[in-house]
Amino acid sequence: PTCSPTRAALMTGHWTDRTGVWHTINGRSMLRENEVTLGQLLKDNGYVTGMFGKWHLGDNFPYRPEERGFDEVYRHGGGGVGQTPDLWDNAYFDGNYFHNGDVEPAQGFCTDVFFQQAWQFMKKQAHSGKPFFAYISTNAPHGPLHCPQKYMEQYREQPPAIAAFYGMITNIDDNVGQTRKLLDDLSIARDTLFIYTTDNGTATGHTVFNAGMRGKKGSEYEGGHRVPLIAHWPAAGWDQKHASDRLCHAVDLVPTLVEIAGGRKPATLKWDGVSITSLLDPKAEPDLPERMLVTDSQRVRDPIKWKQTAVMSQRWRLVNGTELFDIEADPGQQKNVATAHPEQVASMRAFYDRWWAELEPTFSQTTEIYLGHPDAAIVSLTCHDWIGEGLSPWNQQMVRSAAGYRQRSGANAAGDSSQRHDWHWAVKVITAGDYVFEARRWPAETDHAIVEGLPAGNAVPGATRAFRETPGKPVPVTSAVLRIDGRDVSQLPVAAGDTAVKFTATLSAGTHALAPVFVMESGSEVGAYYCVVEGPVER
């Protein structure tokens, strides 16, 4: 899978599709509130917990890392720096980040900043003698492809995109090395379990080196999901050269770490993964049952059976329910042997049918953003989390380009269904009452008029354009509509200098579909890319 889905499995020990996280956008990247994260479990076992970099499992209460068991949080918004939930005009250098809920400016390259914050956390805990868990999750080498020039120059004989991609990776390597040195300097390396892994296969680098694997990031073939996991723990004897080719999954990490950390967990909590300590310990005999595992890359509003799916066993891979590969004989997945092994295909299809039947009833459980909770009286919504068909505007370039606005005119435009904004935010109202909805074309920090465009932002060193380098498109809005549960409850005019339109409406407790909409004179609609909701308020 990709960013959010893999992180959901790594953080919960559950199949990604079980957690409600089968996409990176469209309201399908928020980790359901009933899930217990690794951060919470380790905190319950006496650890101080910190999260640094990329969370990508929800940007609103109660889905943020600070509500999911992490004591110290330093992160960007969304799935990458400059994405829609991130702070406006953020780029990979000298950005602004969320530090325990507050906005803080930083100097330097984003990866360096996230590691530096993690180092401060580690030093503090080491000096206090407290056990800690540091989760360092970088947005790099995700695009846009930006990195310090000195790293690009190491690959100057490559095309710029490759140079930047490998430059970002080399920068991560350097930061990992400095982290290892810090553990030595703090005299805690021997007693620290250090784990390195990643969320999916390569993206930009697949044309250069892909270890003979078929596919890349997002693919159901090995190149999309087969990644390294490296563990080092001298005190336990995990410092000898040792490798295992046994099949494991992201869902195995939580059971493994909780077992090592003390084993405390809610009695009702069951994992889809198993502990793999016997595979990591050079002295242990591997104690892992033969099993089948599933990975898929849904990336749609609602999961589709067999969509970009691999059912995996130690020897076999059944891809999309039809192609069978013998991984031991054919690791590059070039020869489909399904017709030669019908019994193996049948067995793996039957396993998947049971797996799907168990999870499918949960797919309708939409993860909803809370309104009216005492701990989140003011909520900022972004179009990253719009629910609908297709791609919601997940980065600030799309917002600048007025994604979803179709510039048409004519007497029939108002009756043309293609002109209607049919996306919404799924919200859960905790306290019934009156709410204020502040609909915006641009985020509040810009204080910019709805109908006006924006100049392009500053360029960023690297191989591709930063999201902010796209000029902001003016949209000829004449009015705004507040649409709740598919019904237009209010309409207000938009004047030339208005930066926002404020509605007040009464909401009952429970589930609602919220869609503030901007309307053109022709009747064409575009959603409010940002909406700030406050309530309940006094009328």
Phi-psi bin for 290: left (phi > 0), alpha (psi -120 to 50), beta? beta
Chain CA centroid to CA 269, Å? 23
Task: Assess whether 93 and 199 both reside in one domain.
Answer: yes
Residue 359 inside a domain? The answer is: no
* Angle CA 443–444–447, to nearest 5: 105
Residue 87: which CATH number? 3.40.720.10
Q: How much of the chain exceeds pLDDT 90, in percent? A: 96
pLDDT of residue 455: 98
Measured distance CA(11)–CA(75) in Å, rounded: 16
Residue 348 inside a domain? The answer is: no
Task: Report, as an integer, the average pLDDT of 482-501.
Answer: 98
Report the run of H or E that residue 163 belongs to, with start and end. helix 160-185
Domain membership of residue 439 as a residue range: 369-537
Task: Report, as an integer, the average pLDDT of 503-531.
Answer: 98
Task: Assess whether 378 and 274 both reside in one domain.
Answer: no
Q: Per residue in 18-32, pLDDT tens?
A: 999 999 999 999 999
pLDDT of residue 411: 47
Task: Assess whether 266 and 400 both reside in one domain.
Answer: no
Residue 390 inside a domain? The answer is: yes
**Any residues with CB less than 8 A from the CB of 156 and at least 6 apart, and which?**
163
Q: Which amino acid is at 219?
A: S
* Confidence at 236, pLDDT banded by 50, 70, 90: very high
Measured distance CA(311)–CA(121) in Å, rounded: 40
Query: In residues, how long is the chain?
Result: 539
Task: Assess whether 427 and 281 both reside in one domain.
Answer: no
* Confidence at 1, pLDDT banded by 50, 70, 90: confident
Instruction: Please tell me the total count of domains within the chain.
Output: 2
Last residue of a domain, one of 235, 267, 287: 287
Measured distance CA(370)–CA(510) in Å, rounded: 10
Q: Is 230 helix (H, G, I), strand (E, B) or coil?
A: strand
Last residue of a domain, one of 258, 287, 316: 287
Gyration radius (Cα) of the chain, Å: 24
Measured distance CA(493)–CA(414) in Å, rounded: 17
Chain CA centroid to CA 176, Å? 22
Q: Which amino acid is at 379?
A: V
Task: Assess whether 509 and 415 both reside in one domain.
Answer: yes
* Confidence at 539, pLDDT banded by 50, 70, 90: confident
Measured distance CA(128)–CA(196) in Å, rounded: 25
From the number of C-beta atoms within 10 Å of its C-beta (0-12, 13-18, 19+), residue 134 rates as buried
- Give the number of other Cβ atoms within 10 Å of residue 328's Cβ: 10
Task: Assess whether 278 and 380 both reside in one domain.
Answer: no
Asked if pLDDT for residue 491 goes beyond 60, the answer is yes
Residue 325 inside a domain? The answer is: no
Q: Per residue in 168-194, pLDDT tens?
A: 999 999 999 999 999 999 999 999 999
Residue 320 inside a domain? The answer is: no
Q: Per residue in 368-425, pLDDT tens?
A: 999 999 999 999 999 999 999 999 999 999 999 999 987 665 545 555 656 899 999 9
Would you give the end-to-end CA distance of the chain in angstroms?
47
Residue 404: which CATH number? 2.60.120
Q: Per residue in 265-297, pLDDT tens?
A: 999 999 999 999 999 999 999 999 899 999 999
Scan for tokens 């059944």, then name that residue. 318
Measured distance CA(87)–CA(442) in Å, rounded: 12
Residue 224 inside a domain? The answer is: yes
Residue 513 inside a domain? The answer is: yes
Look over the chain and give the mean of its residue pLDDT values, rounded to a whole number. 97
pLDDT of residue 135: 99
Residue 363 inside a domain? The answer is: no
Task: Assess whether 281 and 387 both reside in one domain.
Answer: no
Asked if pLDDT for residue 324 goes beyond 80, the answer is yes
Q: Which amino acid is at 412?
A: N
Task: Assess whether 23 and 120 both reside in one domain.
Answer: yes
Last residue of a domain, one of 259, 287, 315: 287
